[in-house]
Structure formats: structure tokens, C-alpha cells
Amino acid sequence: MEEMPQHRLSRLPDNSALKQQKLPAHRLHFTTTRVLFVFFTTGIFCLCMGIILMLSARRTQEIEINYTRTCANCAKLRETASNFDKECTCSIPFYLSEKMKGKVYMYYKLHGFHQNLYRYIRSRSNRQLVGKDVKAVENCYPFKTSNNDTPIVPCGAIANSMFNDTIILSYNINSSVQIKVPMLKTGLTWWTDKYIKFQNPSLKNLADEFRGTTKPPNWPNPIYELDKKDPRNNGFLNEDLIVWMRTAAFPTFKKLYGRLNQTHHFIEGLPAGSYSFNITYNFPVTRFQGEKSVVLSTLTWCGGNSLFLGLAYTVTGATALLAAFAMKAIHMMLKNKQMSFFHQ
């Protein structure tokens, strides 16, 4: 009989803060001072940020030359697939009125090339590219194997469509002497890409490693002949390949092609003067109504010369400040009324 009250007593709920919904807590209040303070500080911050970004974006220099139509004959030639083995070069002269200071980067830029299509993005084999199993082509549809079931290396639509123009920048010291601007083909990729994501099966004889495979249909040469001179830039480790394999988010994109090697004439960058691009035109774009250009650009602390971010920050900052003033005004206007409301 004694147990009954004990048992009954145990039904009394605990008096804990959690169970009684009395947890110590901070109540969020949108008080006027706080809101206005947030708005003013945000506005000022954004405005300053915007101005800084715009100023730094203006300091960068960029030159973009669209050569889709400039090399019209080449473009025409490439529209027919059967002409793939016919070489076609063209030269595009241009004049640099101001010298490009510091590091100069050369990009190729494609317009209307969709690297972000669902089936395109998936059409690659990381197992193959990391050198684990060069015959692993399972994800590479529709470029898995050639007609006689030989696995393609590197397989997939991305690799097959790799950009394969060669662009050489020449500097005309005077009307007769033309020297090739030295470009570095290293450091074009992320460290993780070059050293983790892409690996050759072994550093020794690449051709042996890739025996029993075939090149992608669009490629003139097999994978192990991408850079015959530099074994560290050959095979899957070829930086152009790695850059291409990092697919772009939007149909218009530019990819890094080379970095200025700051030696001799070019220690301080590209001096003003006349230059020309000598392009081996291999990559057809007119077939899908695309365009391609070559871009030279310098950088600031925050990367390329995008004005968008600076502008967006400025506009946001200005709007926030305006809103803050407007809100302050509304608050002042309502104050009397509000006071009477709360004090009634």
C-alpha cells in the first residue's frame, strides 16, 4: 500500500527548464535602433567595398580579340569534318597602346559552347584520369569505345571536345624583328587537379601504359603525345587537358592558356607596341554558331577585372543607406503616434 503514492508522485512532471518551456533565452527584437544601426553599417560597408572593387577593377588591363571570323577561311575549312588533318593557320596583328604591367595571362574564350550540359558534364571517367585503370570507361557515354570496342583514352565527351588551337603571341620589336613572347604552360591549374585528380599510370613509357586503347575521335594525336617535350605535361598531366576538363559553368567562358614568362623584354610585363597572334586554327566553332577569342589580361588582388561585383556592392550600399534614411524618417513620423499608442 505504501508504494501507491510513490508511484503516483512520480507522475509529477520534472521541474526542469526544458520541460516547463522556461529555457533561458534571448528574445529577438527588431528595435528601431538596432535595425537602423544594421542598415547604416551595412550600407557604409557595401558602399566602401563597392568603391574599392571598382577602383581595383579599373586598374586591370584587358584585351580581347575575337578571331572566329578573322580567320574566315580556316573557319570555313573546319566546318567540314573530313578536313581535320588539313592544317590552317592565321595571324592576327594588334597594337598595344599601353604597356600591360606585371603578370599577364592569356586566355582563350569560347562563346556558346555548352560545357554545362548534363550528359556532357557526366561524360568522363575520373578512375581513368587518375591513372588507376586506363580502361575504365563506364561513365563516358557516348565516347566510351571506338567502333572496334577499344576503350578511348581519355574517354568521354569532355575530353573529345578539347580545345586544340595553338596560339602563339609574337612581339614586333620593330617592323622586321618579331620575337615570340615566352609563355609558361605551367601553373594553369589547381594544385589538387594536377597532383590528385589527374595522374598518369606511371611516369615511364606512357605509350606502353596506353596500349590497347585508342585516341578520342576528334583528337589528331593520342594522349601520350600531347606534349612530347615535357613528360610532366604529357598524358593526363597535360595542363591544357586539365584546364579543359574543369568544365565551365556557363556557355560563355574563358580558360587560361598561358602565363607570361617575365624574362628579357617582358620583365615588367608586356611593353606597348605591336603584337600578333599566330593561331593554328583547329577548333571548329561556327558549326554550332559559337565564337572564340583570345584574351590578354592582368589581375588585381581579387582576381580578374570584373566590374560587376564592384557595381553590385555600390548599388547595394547606396540602397541600404537610402532605405536606412527612409526608415528613420518613417519612424520619426510615426513616433508621436506610436508613443501615444503604447502609452494609452
Partner 1 sequence: MTVPKEMPEKWARARPPPSWSRKKPSWGTEEERRARANDREYNEKFQYASNCIKTSKYNILTFLPVNLFEQFQEVANTYFLFLLILQLIPQISSLSWFTTIVPLVLVLTITAVKDATDDYFSSQFRHKSDNQVNNRQSQVLINGILQQEQWMNVCVGDIIKLENNQFVAADLLLLSSSEPHGLCYIETAELDGETNMKVRQAIPVTSELGDISKLAKFDGEVICEPPNNKLDKFSGTLYWKENKFPLSNQNMLLRGCVLRNTEWCFGLVIFAGPDTKLMQNSGRTKFKRTSIDRLMNTLVLWIFGFLVCMGVILAIGNAIWEHEVGTRFQVYLPWDEAVDSAFFSGFLSFWSYIIILNTVVPISLYVSVEVIRLGHSYFINWDKKMFCMKKRTPAEARTTTLNEELGQVEYIFSDKTGTLTQNIMVFNKCSIYGRSYGDVFDVLGHKAELGEKPEPVDFSFNPLADKKFLFWDPSLLEAVKIGDPHTHEFFRLLSLCHTVMSEEKNEGELYYKAQSPDEGALVTAARNFGFVFRSRTPKTITVHEMGTAITYQLLAILDFNNIRKRMSVIVRNPEGKIRLYCKGADTILLDRLHHSTQELLNTTMDHLNEYAGEGLRTLVLAYRDLDEEYYEEWAERRLQASLAQDSREDRLASVYEEVENNMMLLGATAIEDKLQQGVPETIALLTLANIKIWVLTGDKQETAVNIGYSCKMLTDDMTEVFIVTGHTVLEVREELRKAREKMMDSSRSVGNGFTYQETLSSSKLTSVLEAVAGEYALVINGHSLAHALEADMELEFLETACACKAVICCRVTPLQKAQVVELVKKYKKAVTLAIGDGANDVSMIKTAHIGVGISGQEGIQAVLASDYSFSQFKFLQRLLLVHGRWSYLRMCKFLCYFFYKNFAFTMVHFWFGFFCGFSAQTVYDQYFITLYNIVYTSLPVLAMGVFDQDVPEQRSMEYPKLYEPGQLNLLFNKREFFICIAQGIYTSVLMFFIPYGVFAEATRDDGTQLADYQSFAVTVATSLVIVVSVQIGLDTGYWTAINHFFIWGSLAVYFAILFAMHSNGLFDMFPNQFRFVGNAQNTLAQPTVWLTIVLTTVVCIMPVVAFRFLRLNLKPDLSDTVRYTQLVRKKQKAQHRCMRRVGRTGSRRSGYAFSHQEGFGELIMSGKNMRLSSLALSSFTTRSSSSWIESLRRKKSDSASSPSGSADKPLKG
* Interaction residues for partner 1, span 249-288 (CB under 8 A): 249-256, 259, 284, 287-288
Region of 69-77, 91-99, 200-208, 316-324 interacting with partner 1 (CB under 8 A) = 316-324
Backbone angles phi, psi at 193, to 5 degrees: -65, -50
By CB under 8 A, residue 27 contacts partner 1: yes
Q: What region, left, alpha or beta, does residue 141 occupy, with left being phi > 0 and alpha being psi -120 to 50 degrees?
A: beta
By CB under 8 A, residue 64 contacts partner 1: no
Place of cell 510615426: 334
**Residue 181: all three cell numbers together:** 613572347
By CB under 8 A, residue 322 contacts partner 1: no
Site string for partner 1, 123-152 (x = CB under 8 A): x-xxx-xx-x-----xx--x----------
> Given candidates 3, 33, 69, 118, which one binds partner 1 under the rule CB under 8 A?
118
> Residue 8 and residue 264: Cα distance in Å, rounded?
94
By CB under 8 A, residue 103 contacts partner 1: yes
Degrees to nearest 5, angle at CA 218 with 217 and 224: 80
**Judged by CB, which is closer to partner 1: 59, or 287?**
287
By CB under 8 A, residue 112 contacts partner 1: yes
- Beta bridge partner(s), residue 66: 293
**Amino acid residing at 340:** S
**Residue 7: all three cell numbers together:** 508511484
> Given candidates 20, 83, 202, 205, which one binds partner 1 under the rule CB under 8 A?
20
Site string for partner 1, 68-87 (x = CB under 8 A): -------------x------
**Judged by CB, which is closer to partner 1: 35, or 77?**
35
> Given candidates 1, 2, 3, 9, which one binds partner 1 under the rule CB under 8 A?
9
Region of 35-43, 166-174, 264-272, 274-282 interacting with partner 1 (CB under 8 A) = 35-43
> Residue 263 and residue 339: Cα distance in Å, rounded?
73
Region of 144-152, 156-164, 204-212, 266-274 interacting with partner 1 (CB under 8 A) = 156-164
Minimum distance, C-beta of residue 279 to partner 1, in the bound complex (Å): 20
Q: Which of residues 177-216 bind partner 1 (CB under 8 A)?
A: 187-193, 196-197
Q: Which of residues 215-254 bind partner 1 (CB under 8 A)?
A: 218, 243, 246-254
Minimum distance, C-beta of residue 196 to partner 1, in the bound complex (Å): 5
Backbone angles phi, psi at 156, to 5 degrees: 100, 160
Minimum distance, C-beta of residue 111 to partner 1, in the bound complex (Å): 12
> Residue 188 and residue 114: Cα distance in Å, rounded?
21
> Environment class of residue 124 by beta-carbon count within 10 Å: exposed (0-12), middle (13-18) or buried (19+)?
buried
Region of 145-153, 175-183, 274-282, 336-344 interacting with partner 1 (CB under 8 A) = 336-344
> Given candidates 153, 157, 223, 279, which one binds partner 1 under the rule CB under 8 A?
157
**Judged by CB, which is closer to partner 1: 129, or 279?**
129
- Beta bridge partner(s), residue 295: 64, 107
**Residue 98: all three cell numbers together:** 599601353
110 close to 288: Cβ distance less than 8 angstroms:
no
By CB under 8 A, residue 339 contacts partner 1: no
172 close to 272: Cβ distance less than 8 angstroms:
no
Minimum distance, C-beta of residue 81 to partner 1, in the bound complex (Å): 7
> Given candidates 44, 65, 96, 323, which one binds partner 1 under the rule CB under 8 A?
323
**Sheet strands side by side (includes 253-260):** 62-66, 291-297, 105-111, 253-260, 183-184
Overall size of the chain counted in residues: 344
Minimum distance, C-beta of residue 168 to partner 1, in the bound complex (Å): 19
H/E stretch holding 109 = strand 105-111
Backbone angles phi, psi at 123, to 5 degrees: -80, 70
H/E stretch holding 40 = helix 32-59
